[in-house]
Structure 1
Amino acid sequence: MIRKALLALTLFNSPFGLAYEIQQTWLDPKFVERAFIDVALKREYSPGDWALIKWQQPVKIWVDHRVSDIDMHDELTNAHIEHLSRITGHPIQRVKSRDRANVIWLYTQESEWRDDVKREIGSSALKNMHGAICKAGYRLNAKNNSIASAAIIIPVDQAREHGKLLACIVEEIAQVMGLPNDAETAFPSIFNDETPEDLLSPLDIILLKILYEPSLKPGMKEADVRPRLQAIIKRYQQQGILNRAVSDAKSGELYQLIGY
C-alpha cells in the first residue's frame, strides 16, 4: 500500500523528461569542473571567496514527524540517504533519538514552518525564506571548516501543493552534504531550478562523488581545489566513472519506487 501511494504521489509531482539522456553534460570535463566550482564554492545569497565544506564525521539523521504519512516519508528518506551514502562513500544513517543526531530532519506543516526554521536553523535564515518551499542549513566546525551539524525543514503541505515534496527530500540533504549553492551552470541538476527532474541526475552523482574524494579537504579555497578537481575528473574519465553516471543515478531505490 505504501509503495502504491508513493507511486501516485511522485508521478503526479515529478515529471521525468529524461533530459539528461539528451544533454550529457557530465561527460564534458570542463563542464563538470565549472559546475563543481559554482555549486561547491559559491553561495546564492553571499558572494565572495568561499571555502569547501564537507562532513568528516559520520552523518547521523534524526527524523521528527509532525504530520501524517509517516511510513511514506520514512520510505522516501531511507531510500535517498542509502543512495547518497553509496554515492559518496560517506557513512549516513538514521538514529532513534535527537541527542544522538547531527542532522535534524523535520517534516512539518506550513503554519509552523517559520518557527521551526528559526528554532532549528536560526533567525538569520528567515531573511531568505521568500519563494522557498523547504529549507536546510548547516553549522561548521570553526577549526577545520567541516560540517558539524545541519537541519532540514520540509513543510509537507506546502511542498505537496507545489509538487515539490520529492525535490525537497532529494535536494536539501544533498546540499547539506556540502554542495550548498544553486547554479545555472549545473544542468541537468537538482542544484538548478530549471531542471525538470526531482531526482539526482548523472551530473549530481559526479559532483557528489568528487566532493567526497579524500584529496579535497574542507577549508580549501578555489586555488587549491581546482588542480585537484581537474585531476579527479581526468581520472573519472579514464576509469569510465563519467560514462557510468547514468546507471549510478538510476541505481537509487527512489527510481525503482516511483517507476522510472
Structure 2
Amino acid sequence: MAGARITRGIKAWGGLIVLGLLGACEMFQPVEPVLTPRARPAGLAPPPVPDIQATSQESAALRAYLAQVQSSQLTAGLLRQDGGGPDTPFTADMLARNFENIVFFNEYAGPGVRPGSASALRRWTAPVRIGIEFGASVPPSQRTRDTNDVIAYARRLAQATGHPVSVSDNPNFLVFFVSEDDRADTVNVRATSLPGVNRINVGPVRDLPSDAYCAVAAYATGPERSTYTAAVAVIRAENPDLLRLSCIHEELAQGMGLANDSPDARPSIFNDDDEFALLTGHDVKLLGMLYDDRLRPGIGLTEARPTVRALAAEATTIGPS
C-alpha cells in the first residue's frame, strides 16, 4: 500500500557596520508622496495571503535537524542531482532485474501483505489528477516553490509514462506538505475526501515515524485490485528545499506504481542509500516500461518476465533518457 522514504548559517553583523548604516540614513531627507496610487481593478487584485500559523518548538527543532541532515548528505556526496553518468552504467539485464524487484514485490506490510512478498503489477488506468495541500504553518514562499515543483514533475511523469498526469482542482492523488503541528488535522480532513480513503487506512502515511522524510500510499478500491484509484503522499514541510524536492520525485513516482525499493537499483531513487535525490535516466526507463501497453495491471512476474526482458532491451538500446 505505501512506499516511504525512511531511511544555513546566520550572519551576525558587527556593530561598526550597523552604526555605519545608521549614519548613512541621516544623509537622506524624507520625501513627501506626491501621487495617490490608483485602486486596482478587482480582477487584478493580488491573491489573499494565507493565514500562517507560528510553528512550535518541536517543528522548529525538526526543521533545524533536517537542514543538518541535508548538509551532511551533500558533504558526503549523496543526494546527487545529475541523473547518473559514466560511473553508474547499467545493462538491459540489470534494468529488467531492477524493474522486477521494484514493481513485483512489496516494500511494506499491509492487510494480508508481508514485506518482501510477491505482488502483481499495479498502476493507474484513469488519468492521474494531482492536488496540492498545505498545512497552516507553511509560509507563502515555500508554497509557491513546492507548487511549481509538483507542476513541473507532473509534466515529467506524464512524458515518461505516456499516461495522463496533471495538477488538478479535482484530484485523485493528494500531495500534502505539512508540519508536525498540522499534519494530522490537515490529512484527516482532506485525504478522506478521496473515494476509499479513511482515517484508518491513511494512518501509515499520516503518522510518519520520526525518521521518515515522507511517505505515499496508493489505493485500489475498484473491482480490479491492481488498478490504483487514489493516492496520498505526505511530505514533511520541515524538510529543506532539496529533501522536499527529493520526496516529490520519489513518492509521486512510487504512487504511479514503482512501489518498492531495491538495494541493487543504481542509478536510482528507488534505493534507500540516498545516493540520488532526483529521478534518474534509469528511473525514467522504469516508468516507461511500467506503463507500456504490453503489460497490464494484475499481471504476475512469471507471466510478465519475457515482456519485461524485451522492454528492458528496447529501453537500453534507445539510450539515456
TM over 0.5: yes
Alignment deviations for residues 101-131 of structure 1 (CA, whole Å, 9 cap, x no partner):
1111111112233555666352355687352
**1:33 is matched with which residue?**
96
Q: How does 1:79-98 map to 2 (within 5 A)?
A: 79-96=152-169
Unaligned runs of 5+ in 2: 1-66, 109-114, 192-200
SS in 1 for 2:258: coil
* AA aligned opposite 1:150: A
**1:258 is matched with which residue?**
none
Q: How does 1:109-120 map to 2 (within 5 A)?
A: 109-114=179-184, 116=186, 120=191
Q: Is the 8 A contact 1:187 1:195 kept in 2?
A: no
SS in 2 for 1:138: strand
* AA aligned opposite 1:86: Q
Q: Is the 8 A contact 1:25 1:203 kept in 2?
A: no
Q: How does 1:37-48 map to 2 (within 5 A)?
A: 37-45=100-108, 46-48=115-117
Q: Is the 8 A contact 2:106 2:118 kept in 1?
A: no
Instruction: Determine whether 1:105 maps to 2:192.
Output: no
Q: Is the 8 A contact 2:246 2:277 kept in 1?
A: yes
SS in 1 for 2:123: coil
User: RMSD of aligned C-alpha atoms?
Assistant: 2.5
**2:216 is matched with which residue?**
136
Q: Which has the larger radius of gyration?
A: 2
Instruction: Determine whether 1:193 maps to 2:272.
Output: yes
* AA aligned opposite 1:89: G
**1:154 is matched with which residue?**
235
Query: How many Å separate the matches in 1 of 2:187 and 2:80?
Result: 30
Instruction: Determine whether 1:167 maps to 2:231.
Output: no
Taking structure 2 as the reference length, the TM-score comes to: 0.64
**2:85 is matched with which residue?**
21
Unaligned runs of 5+ in 1: 1-8, 249-260
Alignment deviations for residues 83-117 of structure 1 (CA, whole Å, 9 cap, x no partner):
11111111011112xxx211111111122335556
Change (3 A) 1:30 1:219: same
SS in 2 for 1:77: helix
Change (3 A) 1:126 1:70: closer
Query: How many Å separate the matches in 2 of 1:19 and 1:212?
Result: 21
Query: How many Å separate the matches in 1 of 2:132 and 2:261?
Result: 25
State the percentage of identical aligned residues: 26
Q: Is the 8 A contact 2:163 2:291 kept in 1?
A: yes
Q: Is the 8 A contact 2:129 2:173 kept in 1?
A: yes
Query: How many Å separate the matches in 2 of 1:118 and 1:183?
Result: 31
* AA aligned opposite 2:181: S
Query: How many Å separate the matches in 1 of 2:161 and 2:265?
Result: 19
State the shift of 1:143 in Å: 2.3
| The structure with more helix, counted as a fraction of residues | 1
Change (3 A) 1:63 1:21: same
* AA aligned opposite 2:123: K
Query: How many Å separate the matches in 1 of 2:83 and 2:248?
Result: 21
Change (3 A) 1:17 1:217: closer
Change (3 A) 1:128 1:40: farther
Taking structure 1 as the reference length, the TM-score comes to: 0.78
SS in 1 for 2:234: strand
**2:9 is matched with which residue?**
none
